[in-house]
Copies of this chain bind each other. A is one copy, B any other.
């Protein structure tokens, strides 16, 4: 396991908080060891720091009440969705209470005419899309995991569809947020655009629960496209695949998804999903539009791919075939794990300007060879964003050190290319040092905002930046 710094604990305050919460919420407060560990650890490689208790609120009013109790006793609060964050966002380095939002899972309103809906934070993406299907609508952000929408907003999630539909920052109209003093604010109304004051919606999106707890979201929706077509296409090398992506974006083809798998990932996926894909770098694509439009996009992409050595096209237009292809992509993490059973997978990501993508991937592959690390690469390459599944025996200090060298070089390389140390996984505990390296004085400004809005430092402390 990776290292995670512990912070000073306010023992008496935490004890007083738990007593008060038990008196008020009874059985909904749990201190069971396994539950606490699950709420701290999740899918991150950062060492486990469990909260002292887990509590399941059922309304904004209850969250407000809980925050007031925690504030009165200076007790940390860590909001929890489905536990799929990757950088230690859910750990409790100073102890405190994990607020599990999964009982707040009601789809409150769907405004089909306005292409928006109001949901509680514990609703997950799949649940929402099943609810919307009969209305001909969908919510496009798909981070792969069955994340909750509150968690997705808090970490500014994106995923495979972001190249066309944007990230969470582009798909939320307003948020209801319980602030550090227990007060409740609504950041905006349902208008599609607004110039009414500071953009508090976007400030809360990606704040990883350090500024407040999201208790309701209004989301933008999309009409389900009339036609959808997916494709798999092989390339002789990663740079050629990347250059095909660059040309596609520059040409203005509105691809809905354009995903890279390197050779190692294709091998892993073949083994895991019992497929027979050619074991070379590959792109997985999806086109959305009218039947005519999809046909035109696919033809234009086919020409571009041909120029960069793309071959072996497989097209999937039936929904079940498309679903199988994307499932294979979403299972990349598990497929990677199968390459070296028994070790851990550290999932890390960076994002660079697309002109630097091929270089960034190639230099990283050279690092992997030099350091002797197995780490398949997948990527939302239309945005210049890619991921490594680093296979590492974290109990072996030397291996862990090599992995840390790799990740440090990767983050710094992306920053040097005018990109970011994280395109979609967030900062959490794992990338705090890189954030300082990336943004310098802007982190001081974040700290000033954090101190102003959370003067007691109780909202998910020890994340994003040192306060």
Contact = CB atoms under 8 A, between A and B. Distances in A.
B207 A427 contact: no
Nearest to A247: B113
Contact of A188 (B189, B193, B439): B439
Interface in A65-120: 111-116
A353 B116 contact: yes
A453 B448 CA distance: 7
A330 to B, nearest CB: 19
A279 interface: no
A438 B206 contact: no
B197 A441 contact: no
Contact of A442 (B190, B197, B205): B197
Interface stretch (A7-15, A35-43, A260-268, A414-422): A414-422
A117 B405 CA distance: 33
Interface in A52-69: none
A192 interface: yes
A187 interface: yes
Contacts of A383: 191-193
Interface string A195-237: 1111110110111000100000000001101100000000000
B167 A423 contact: no
A351 B173 CA distance: 13
A452 interface: yes
A439 B197 contact: yes
A413 interface: no
B194 A440 contact: no
Contacts of A198: 203, 206-207, 211, 446, 449, 464
A424 B195 contact: yes
A185 interface: yes
A110 B207 CA distance: 31
A196 B419 CA distance: 10
Contact of A189 (B167, B193, B418): B418
A445 B200 contact: yes
A435 interface: yes
A390 B288 CA distance: 43
Contact of A355 (B113, B167, B196): B113
A195 B186 contact: no
A353 B193 contact: no
Contact of A296 (B157, B293, B464): B293
Contacts of A170: 166, 170
Contacts of A290: 296, 300
Interface stretch (A249-257, A319-327, A370-378): A249-257
A355 B114 contact: yes
Interface in A14-55: none
B193 A446 contact: no
A444 B187 CA distance: 11
B196 A111 contact: no
A251 B290 CA distance: 11
A179 interface: yes
A426 interface: yes
A465 interface: yes
A292 interface: yes
B114 A354 contact: yes
B296 A191 contact: no
A188 B438 CA distance: 8
A250 B190 contact: no
A191 B351 contact: yes
A332 to B, nearest CB: 19
9 contacts: A113-B250, A156-B194, A167-B195, A189-B415, A190-B353, A197-B439, A198-B449, A200-B445, A203-B203
